[in-house]
Chains A and B, each alone.
Chain A
Amino acid sequence: TQLLEQSPQFLSIQEGENLTVYCNSSSVFSSLQWYRQEPGEGPVLLVTVVTGGEVKKLKRLTFQFGDARKDSSLHITAAQPGDTGLYLCAGTTGTASKLTFGTGTRLQVTL
């Protein structure tokens, strides 16, 4: 069973601060995705990374896939209250048909 551990579990920061969320596994993933989920809604895809060492930027969000494709990180610069939500990493392995989700990081950004 592939397990994706995210850290930290909870993060409460003030507007303008930077933060990094980590997603770690002992398994190798063929692709890794990051989602954000807001209360009462389903997760929404932010990014997909497929190549070891790949870095993708989405405005103030920077995503990195580890060289060995076992881990990933999400860095947010100058966090805003609109960034508040549950961040989930999720991975697929080889020809597997399912997306395995991480344990989640709940982020709260206050004014």
Chain B
Amino acid sequence: DTAVSQTPKYLVTQMGNDKSIKCEQNLGHDTMYWYKQDSKKFLKIMFSYNNKELIINETVPNRFSPKSPDKAHLNLHINSLELGDSAVYFCASSQQRGAVGSYGYTFGSGTRLTVV
């Protein structure tokens, strides 16, 4: 199936641990993104990569480090997890980065991270 797939779906971990979330898209899109959705369902962009190049880096703590080994993969590594990191993290991809006539994003089904 063509899609954006991210793993794991659920992640429960203790404060201070390091964890990674993986994302892969087989849509042939050039650009991939990480979004964070908080408890009020607000979606906020964290990072964006275009053809393995970082193009957006919002004000995210440097404990969060994205890595894109190729344009079909964008992983998110989080060091020293804190309680406030608990949220749902969404990976997404698009054909090209935003412009007039922007293409829509295709989202993965999310990773619910719970830090205890």
Contacts and interface: CB of A to CB of B under 8 A. Distances in A.
Query: For A30, A44, A88, A97, which residue has the most chain B Cβ atoms within 10 angstroms?
Result: A97
A98 B94 CA distance: 10
Interface in A57-111: 86, 88, 90, 92-93, 95-101, 103-104, 106
Interface residues of B, number: 30
Nearest to B9: A40
A58 to B, nearest CB: 13
Given A40-B110, A42-B92, A97-B48, A104 B41 contact: yes
B104 interface: yes
A45 interface: yes
Contacts of B92: 42
B56 A33 contact: no
Contact of A31 (B31, B43, B102, B107): B102
Given A42-B92, A42-B110, A86-B41, A31 B100 contact: yes
Contacts, number: 75
Contacts of A104: 40-42
Contacts of B67: none
A28 B56 CA distance: 20
B110 A41 contact: yes
B7 interface: no
B63 interface: no
Nearest to A101: B43
A97 B101 contact: no
Given A48-B104, A97-B50, A98-B56, A43 B43 contact: yes
Nearest to A33: B104
B83 interface: no
A105 to B, nearest CB: 10
Given A31-B102, A104-B40, 4 more contacts: A43-B43, A45-B104, A50-B101, A99-B98
Interface of A: 30-31, 33, 37, 40-45, 48, 50, 86, 88, 90, 92-93, 95-101, 103-104, 106
9 contacts: A31-B100, A33-B102, A40-B110, A42-B90, A43-B43, A44-B107, A50-B100, A92-B98, A92-B99
